[in-house]
Each structure stands twice: as C-alpha cells, then as structure tokens.
Amino acid sequence: MKNRLEELRKARGIRQEELADALGVSRQTIGSLENGRYNPSILLAFKLARYFNRQIEDIFIYEEESI
C-alpha cells in the first residue's frame, strides 16, 4: 500500500518526531509508514486522517495485487 504521509507532513512543515508525538507513536513508526515498510492499524489510519483533516483514502492508496 502506498501513502502520501511524507508529502502531507512536509506540507505542514513538521518533523517526523512532532507527528509521532501528536499521535502517540514512535518516530520509527512514522518513518516506516512513510517508507512503505509498515501498514498502519485502522486506529492509526483514522488518527492520521483526523490529524491531517483528510479521508483515509486521501492518505493511503490501496493497490490490488494482480492474481
């Protein structure tokens, strides 16, 4: 799953640490999300959407795997 997290965070002018503190997660979690190494829990996805005042689908882009 791709995401626009880094783009949105940088547009706000905040560091990974600041976003992590606001959401109650580690900076490593934010870094892993931005690099696509980690998919968020549904709770974290909702928190991110609320923080950026966006829909989850505006942040996370689901791409189906070809069969």
pLDDT tens, N- to C-terminus, the chain (67 residues): 899 999 999 999 999 999 999 999 999 999 999 999 999 999 999 999 999 999 999 999 988 876 6
Q: Is residue 67 assigned to a domain? A: no
Q: What is the pLDDT of residue 20?
A: 98
Neighbours of 42 (CB within 10 A): 9
Q: Is residue 17 assigned to a domain? A: yes
Q: What is the pLDDT of residue 67?
A: 67
Q: How many domains does the chain have?
A: 1
CATH code for the domain in which residue 47 is found: 1.10.260.40
Q: What is the pLDDT of residue 59?
A: 97
Range of the domain at 40: 2-61
Among candidate residues 41, 55, 40, 42, the one with its CA nearest the CA of residue 8: 55
Q: Is residue 66 assigned to a domain? A: no
Q: Is residue 12 assigned to a domain? A: yes
Full-model pTM: 0.89
